[in-house]
Amino acid sequence: MPASAPERGNVGYGGRPQRVAVLRCIVAAVVVTVLLAGLAVLIFWLVVRPKPIDYAVTHAVVRHFNVTPPPPDANANATASVNATFYLTFAAHNPNRRVSILYEWVEFRVLYGGGDPAQLLAVEDAPAFRQPRRNETALAVRAVARSANVSGQAARELRHDAEQGEVGVDVRMRARVQFKVAGVRTRHYDLEAFCSPVVVGLSPSAARSFQTVPCDVAIS
Ligand SMILES: *[C@@H]1O[C@H](CO)[C@@H](O)[C@H](O)[C@H]1NC(C)=O
Ligand SMILES: *[C@@H]1O[C@H](CO)[C@@H](O)[C@H](O)[C@H]1NC(C)=O
Ligand SMILES: *[C@@H]1O[C@H](CO)[C@@H](O)[C@H](O)[C@H]1NC(C)=O
Ligand SMILES: *[C@@H]1O[C@H](CO)[C@@H](O)[C@H](O)[C@H]1NC(C)=O
């Protein structure tokens, strides 16, 4: 590194090589910094080995399912209402050896018809919980639709589904989470798991043949 600044008037001779030396020094420093940062990321990655978290709906039953159709003389925009109680088992699997998860706020929604707009049948909050490393937790969710407003079109489709003995709904889990790595908490993240289609049989025996539905996960 150049120790003394060039004297005034002396720039003509010594200035150029000196400037080149300074430039070289800066480039070297930048390269070393980038390499060290890359190495730090690589070591962190190798030590933590983050793996995606899996979510799935593993059981689903519906009880007290009832659709009130719109009045027959109503216009095309008239709404209908739905009563139902959904009992869902929602499995969260954290395969990570070094990452635990704090679920600070959890909400489940049961929706009908992926179309636009999807009809909201039921919303249910779940208690906050902490998921340790390498852990599988099953949450029992009871989501109740109490005279949920749905469009007349959705009501007709729901009644048609019910006649076939099963309804296909979507389950959306939203959560505010914090990850904990080696005792250090990360920032807060929004987590969303979307599970579709969750086909729920209306007959009591249908619960036994339920097929696990894996969920798409987005973290932002
Ligand atoms: C839904 O339940 C409410 C009372 O909780 C009742 O007034 C309404 O008639 C029910 N609707 C249907 C479709 O059963
Ligand atoms: C139904 O809704 C659409 C759009 O919201 C509106 O343009 C139309 O006038 C409504 N029809 C009736 C019969 O209210
Ligand atoms: C997962 O964590 C919960 C809460 O700490 C605990 O009750 C449960 O037994 C754990 N399950 C497994 C498979 O380790
Ligand atoms: C359902 O829709 C009707 C008619 O649009 C409205 O009067 C009623 O308040 C709505 N109910 C709920 C729970 O949003």
Among residues 57, 63, 82, which one has the least CA distance to residue 173? Answer: 57
What span, in angstroms and rounded, lies between the C-alpha atoms of 46 and 59? Answer: 36
Give the H/E segment covering residue 9: none
What span, in angstroms and rounded, lies between the C-alpha atoms of 110 and 198? Answer: 10
Query: pLDDT tens digits for 86-119?
Result: 999 999 999 999 999 999 999 999 999 855 678 9
Return the amino acid letter for 95.
P
166, 206 Cβ separation under 8 angstroms:
yes
Q: What is the pLDDT of residue 152?
A: 84
What span, in angstroms and rounded, lies between the C-alpha atoms of 217 and 183? Answer: 25
111, 76 Cβ separation under 8 angstroms:
no
| Distance between Cα 157 and ligand 4 center (Å) | 20
End-to-end CA distance of the chain: 44
Nearest ligand 3 atom to alpha carbon 137: 1
Label residue 30 by pLDDT band (50, 70, 90): very high
Does residue 136 have its Cβ closer than 6 Å to ligand 3? yes
Position 209 pLDDT exceeds 90: no
Lowest-confidence pick of 9-18, 25-34, 138-147, 149-158: 9-18
| Distance between Cα 87 and ligand 4 center (Å) | 25
What span, in angstroms and rounded, lies between the C-alpha atoms of 74 and 152? Answer: 9
Position 124 pLDDT exceeds 60: yes
Q: Which residue has the higher pLDDT, 19 or 87?
A: 87
Does residue 117 have its Cβ closer than 6 Å to ligand 2? no
What is the residue extent of each domain of the chain?
13-48, 54-219
Q: What is the pLDDT of residue 14?
A: 58
Please calculate the CA angle 168-200-103 and round it to the nearest 5 degrees.
90
Q: Which residue has the higher pLDDT, 104 or 74?
A: 104
Position 10 pLDDT exceeds 90: no
| Distance between Cα 83 and ligand 2 center (Å) | 26
> CA of 94: how far to CAs of 78, 89, 191, in Å?
44, 16, 14
| Distance between Cα 149 and ligand 4 center (Å) | 6
Among residues 103, 145, 102, 155, which one has the least CA distance to residue 124? Answer: 145
Position 6 pLDDT exceeds 60: no
In our burial notation (b when 16+ CB lie closer than 10 A, e otherwise), range 162-195 reads beeeebbbbbbbebebebbbeeeeeeeeebebbb
Mean of pLDDT over the chain: 88
CATH number listed for the domain at residues 54-219:
2.60.40
What span, in angstroms and rounded, lies between the C-alpha atoms of 16 and 187? Answer: 48
Query: pLDDT tens digits for 137-195?
Result: 999 999 999 999 898 888 888 998 889 889 999 999 999 999 999 889 999 999 999 99
121, 145 Cβ separation under 8 angstroms:
yes
**3-state DSSP helix/strand/coil percent for the chain, to nearest 5?**
25, 50, 25
